Structure 1
Amino acid sequence: MRSRKIIVAAALVSFATAGLAQTEPKVGVQSAPGKVSVTGTVKTTSTVVGIEPSTRTVWLKDAKGKVVQVVVGEEARNFDQLKIGDVVTAEYSQAMTVTLKKGGAPLAANENQTLERAPMGAKPGGTASREVTIMANVTAVNHQSGVVTLKGPQGNSVDLIVQDPSQLKLIRKGDQMEVVYTEAVAISVEPQAK
């Protein structure tokens, strides 16, 4: 069942990312002592300009006239409801929050996924999301370069660059960092406006 959800999510993501290359993302950063969050959202609207039912291929044209070809997987419901002129709206968002933790929580990695598909007989669409939470140990802090080294639950190490000197002063070897990464895609299809 899990692999099926991943396949459907991949189909939705491929459908969404087809028109995203030309869209400017909205990016936000929030910071508090020991915590920083970065978010980004990209939204695009394209028009269906071609459909090949036998291969489940759709051609989408964005507002700048760029046409992209997308193959929609069998897992996506209601392919036969697509029509030339339908408007496809896709929104993709990502967020990452890193929080400094003082204490000895166990190292861990957890992942949650959600998937909602359009009801049978409706226009294709849906949402998919994923959230990954990792607790890692701070194994080194280089105050000159601003590099903090984290060791995760599987033993792998990652270097993070901390650009804010006031945040870097708070971090010590032996501390922990909780990293929460989320991503979501929402796709909707509306009939051509009359």
Structure 2
Amino acid sequence: MTNKKLIIVATLAALAQAGFAETDPSVAIKSAPGQVSVTGSVKTTSTVVGIEADTRTVWLKDAKGKVVQLVVGEEAHNFSQLKLGDHVTAEYTQALTVTLKKGSAPLSASESQNISRAPLGAKPGGTASREVTVMANVTAVNHQTGLVTLRGPQGNSLDLIVQDPDQLKLIKKGDQVQVVYNEAVAISVEPAAVK
């Protein structure tokens, strides 16, 4: 990933996670034999209460009165379109799917990303998404505690607690697990209401 993309993703993620959660996160869990998916999202709206053009700094205030200061990178188009009173809406979504795989595929890790920005001249906004896929080996299963130990392609280990006894019965040492992690954030700016 280039530094430009890192800056954009970091800015978008900061907006979504800056403590502006106006809505409680919605969480959905889906389970099928050998597979579990968890998805969560949170939406937030804040108001632009300060802009410092020279340093590209913006102050955002949420509905509870909390103010957060953000520096917007040069990669974000249309910074000059921001005005005091504009409403910034961010929706942040994360999903994790763990799938039990029988067999012996090579251990692997891959990542893909997508970024889109508002066209020049429009209000600032955009979306950023990322998907990480890892194939790992099950190196230990403790049926008493529900602890499953995974070893990834770089040799690192991770312990997971499997609370569903029916799912735990399907897992044994030597199996493989595919983990897919997705995250996305969408940012939009709406003009301030005319008084």
TM-score (norm 2): 0.95
Q: 1:19 to 1:148 in 2, by over 3 A?
A: closer
Aligned twin of 2:24? 24
Aligned twin of 2:192? 192
CA distance in 2, matches of 1:110, 1:98: 15
The residue matched to 1:85 in structure 2 has which SS? coil
Aligned twin of 1:179? 179
Give a deviation string over 1:10-56, Cα, whole Å, max 9, x none. Answer: 12222333353454211111111100001110100111111111111
Aligned twin of 2:7? 7
Structure 1 unaligned runs (5+)? none
1:5-84 paired onto structure 2 within 5 Å: 5-84=5-84
Contact 1:19 1:46 in 2 (8 A): no
CA shift, 1:73, in A, is: 1.5
Which 4+ runs in 1 deviate beyond 4 A?
A: none
Cα RMSD, aligned residues only: 1.3
Give a deviation string over 1:42-80, Cα, whole Å, max 9, x none. Answer: 100111111111111111111122222111112211110
Aligned twin of 2:138? 138
Give a deviation string over 1:109-135, Cα, whole Å, max 9, x none. Answer: 000010001111111110001000000
Give a deviation string over 1:125-182, Cα, whole Å, max 9, x none. Answer: 1000100000000011000110001010111111110000010000011100000000
Contact 1:11 1:75 in 2 (8 A): no
Aligned twin of 1:99? 99
CA distance in 1, matches of 2:29, 2:4: 34
Contact 1:18 1:69 in 2 (8 A): no
CA distance in 1, matches of 2:178, 2:98: 6
Aligned twin of 1:119? 119
CA distance in 2, matches of 1:129, 1:65: 29
For this pair of structures, how many residues does the alignment match?
194
Relative to structure 2, which stretch is displaced further, 141-150 or 18-27?
Answer: 18-27
TM-score (norm 1): 0.95
CA distance in 2, matches of 1:29, 1:2: 34
Could you tell me which amino acid in structure 1 is paired with residue 166 of structure 2? S
CA distance in 2, matches of 1:150, 1:12: 31
CA distance in 2, matches of 1:76, 1:17: 18
Contact 2:22 2:63 in 1 (8 A): no
CA distance in 2, matches of 1:58, 1:3: 21
The residue matched to 2:120 in structure 1 has which SS? coil
CA distance in 2, matches of 1:12, 1:68: 13
Contact 1:30 1:36 in 2 (8 A): yes
